[in-house]
Structure 1
């Protein structure tokens, strides 16, 4: 069973997918979506879930540094519930503190331009969220 990792932002959703054995995460794509229309990414996400035979979703949960859950975390919780209800796969909320910062650092070390980093940062954050989950299994 493959697992999908999601870095849910207000305008984009970074997507990563595990290999069939659940050992490694690979960046797949970034979906544009409208957070105010929770269904706006449903068709594209359904296609990915079907094509990659996804059995579980790991949704990044952006907690505050003190461990509390703020507005962004609540949005991720709502989206995880929506995925379960709409796509009928279980979701796991995964602490994503500092994944975007770590992704940015990796891309800076790769000497990637700011314009290119902006295009792949969410996908890279999704890889880090999913890989972190896979490492803890």
Structure 2
């Protein structure tokens, strides 16, 4: 029996937080909502409601590395905020490289004839889904690699 996956993907920005969830099998991530960041307490209560409703046990946060792979100012801000969320929600966090996720989300919208400039919240939700999808795929690869490794001298 496979373990149910209850992760929440977050695309944390200065004004908004895109939120995505996954099906219990861990195959597909989808955008859930976008939280307008009014205050930490407000953000916390909105996330808490989603976490309780979905039985979430892990936060997957997109970390905006610089294009050269370094951790810049914005990434440090996201780390700081995420650690605060993690402590307040009593949930572990894992970070995923989120470079270009917002760009890809915008491109997906353009292909669907949806205006990115008029739908910033949708971009954030889609970016959160891309972040969570990347984590799910990396997790599957890791599990597959572990199950195919056989110890030579068991």
Query: Do Structure 1 and Structure 2 share a fold, with TM-score over 0.5?
Result: yes
1:17 match? 21
Aligned-partner Cα distance in 1 for 2:12–2:116:
21
1:116 offset after TM fit, Å? Answer: 4.2
Aligned-partner Cα distance in 1 for 2:50–2:127:
18
Q: Which has the higher helix share?
A: 2
Q: Which moved more, 1:19-28 or 1:109-118?
A: 109-118
- Would you say how many aligned residue pairs link Structure 1 and Structure 2? 135
User: What per-residue deviation string (whole Å, max 9, x for no partner) do you get for residues 9-58 of structure 1?
Assistant: 00100000011121110110000014xx4434011010011111001000
Runs of 4+ with deviation above 6 angstroms: none
Does the 8 A contact of 2:109 with 2:116 survive in 1? no
| Structure 2 SS opposite 1:100 | helix
Does the 8 A contact of 1:107 with 1:117 survive in 2? no
Does the 8 A contact of 1:57 with 1:92 survive in 2? yes
Structure 1 portions without partners, runs of 5+: none
Structure 2 portions without partners, runs of 5+: 140-154
- The structure number with the bigger radius of gyration is 2
Does the 8 A contact of 2:101 with 2:131 survive in 1? yes
| TM-score, scaled relative to structure 1 | 0.93
| TM-score, scaled relative to structure 2 | 0.83
Q: Which has the higher strand share?
A: 1
Does the 8 A contact of 1:38 with 1:79 survive in 2? no
